[in-house]
Amino acid sequence: MSPSWDRSPMSNKFSSTDPLIAKRVEELDALDAILPFDRRDQLAALLTDDDVATLKHLAKEGMGSNTLRALASDLAYLEAWCALATGAPLPWPAPEALLLKFVAHHLWDPIQRENDPSHGMPAEVEVGLRSRALLRVDGPHAPATVRRRLTSWSILTRWRGLAGSFSAPSLKSALRLAVRAGGRPRQRKSMSAVTADILAQLLFTCAGDRLVDIRDRAILLTAFASGGRRRSEIANLRVEDLIEEELVRAVPDDSASPSLPCLAIRLGRTKTTGSDDYARSLMIGRPVEALKRWLQEARIETGPVFRRIDQWGNVDRRALTAQSVNLVLKSRCAKAGLDPQKFSAHSLRSGYLTEAANRGIPMPEAMQQSQHKSLTQAASYYNNPDRKRGKAARLIV
């Protein structure tokens, strides 16, 4: 039987008198440190008992919290979409025809839709998803979103000990043709990169002695100088992850150059590394001084490095969330007179590699610091500066 729920028109909260859903709410309470608490009731209504059991198993196995959140969100969407599109719960494993239906409902040609209203996602499915606050975009989905949900679907299928049709030639062909038909250009996570000149403007807004200025300055310098750390990595950084290193020379081969403080950051499990990889990133000079000053002023000796500060200047014991790190960046952009819509926390990551390319730093060296695993991804930041300096675009000037 498909799940039942009630939703008032003025609220995003889901309620149900179904004892099975109430039981799932209690089960999800065990994951409240990982899953978004404000969506607990909604997830309980959308997911099945087997879904919740799978998520608890993944959490026990040590899957990263960000990955688990994404899986839970994608699973809830898939369950709701399948119920609306087929009138039945999500089957395990999903047949090939259902995977093709998912692609057809989410990647379609807007021009064809104008002439044929039945093209793409059916109206009743779209209305149902919007009423549950699961669908917000107008038009076809971004190909990256569709691929991510298919990947989540595949991962969850494997964790159930089943084999799906995710490698079927028909699915690969359908994805390729649908992306081509949609003609939607690929968009980066952030429109603009925070390069050194932009970073200087942001740091100027943190020049005061207020605790929030000291903290935000440390966040910006740490995130950028340590290789463009992701916002989740900054939010999860702990004092125990900081390793004091010996002083280094400002100019390595010049014994007369001044000595600078050096700090190593133990990254642990990240998006591209496992907890056993012992990945580390180095910081030298000003970023180390800024980070140490924040820890000293905030009197932080253990636990989360970056924390919330209330309106009275008190430092919370809990860590900032990843979203808070993003809001810090956007707030500093606004104070610097920049358009916050053009920047996100990912701008620090893309900006690090862009700046490294501008300064002629070899890509392997920059990738070692940023912990990028994909040469293609890293090269995309290196290509633009190289092309602007090259001769190919200067044949006629």
Residue given tokens 């608890």 in the structure block: 56
**CA 8 centroid distance within chain:** 30
Handedness of CA 185, 188, 191, 197 (dihedral sign): negative
Structure-model confidence comparison of residues 47 and 42, the more confident one = 47
pTM value? 0.60
% of the chain at pLDDT higher than 90: 42
Q: What is the pLDDT of residues 258-298, one digit of tens each?
A: 999 999 998 865 555 544 456 788 999 999 999 999 999 99
pLDDT of residue 200: 96
CA-to-CA separations, 104 to 108, 182, 267, in angstroms, rounded: 6, 11, 40
Q: 3-state DSSP helix/strand/coil percent for the chain, to nearest 5? A: 55, 10, 40
- How far apart are the C-alpha atoms of 28 and 45, rounded to whole Å? 11
pLDDT at 50 over 50: yes
% of the chain at pLDDT higher than 70: 78
For 64-151, list the strands marked E by DSSP.
Answer: none
pLDDT of residue 93: 93
User: What average pLDDT does range 348-353 have in this prediction?
Assistant: 90
Reported residue count of the chain is 397
Token couple for 169: 């030639």
Closest of 361, 325, 322 to residue 34, by C-alpha: 322
Give 334's pLDDT tier (boundaries 50, 70, 90): very high
pLDDT of residue 23: 60
DSSP letters, 29-58, are HTTTTTS-GGGHHHHHHHS-HHHHHHHHHH
pLDDT at 365 over 50: yes
pLDDT of residue 389: 64
pLDDT of residue 6: 38
Residue 263: beta bridge partners? Answer: 244, 283
pLDDT of residue 67: 78
- Is 1.10.443.10 the CATH number for 196-388? yes
Give 97's pLDDT tier (boundaries 50, 70, 90): very high
- How far apart are the C-alpha atoms of 375 and 380, rounded to whole Å? 9
- How far apart are the C-alpha atoms of 90 and 75, rounded to whole Å? 9
pLDDT at 14 over 80: no
For residues 353 and 372, is the Cβ–Cβ distance under 8 A? yes
- How far apart are the C-alpha atoms of 245 and 233, rounded to whole Å? 21
Give 115's pLDDT tier (boundaries 50, 70, 90): confident
Token couple for 277: 């990889």
**Where would I find the H helices in 122-165?**
123-131, 143-159
Residue 238: beta bridge partners? Answer: 304
pLDDT at 99 over 90: yes
- How far apart are the C-alpha atoms of 61 and 55, rounded to whole Å? 10
For residues 382 and 357, is the Cβ–Cβ distance under 8 A? yes
Domain boundaries along the sequence of the chain: 6-182, 196-388
User: What average pLDDT does range 54-76 have in this prediction?
Assistant: 77
Q: Would residue 321 be called left, alpha or beta, if left means φ above 0 and alpha means ψ between -120 and 50 degrees?
A: beta
Token couple for 30: 């065990």
Highest-pLDDT range among 70-84, 153-167, 200-214: 200-214
pLDDT at 113 over 50: yes
pLDDT of residue 280: 83
pLDDT of residue 307: 96
Which stretch of 65-69, 199-203, 262-266 has the lowest confidence by average pLDDT?
65-69
Q: What is the pLDDT of residues 130-145, one digit of tens each?
A: 998 888 888 888 888 8
Closest of 227, 234, 220 to residue 355, by C-alpha: 227
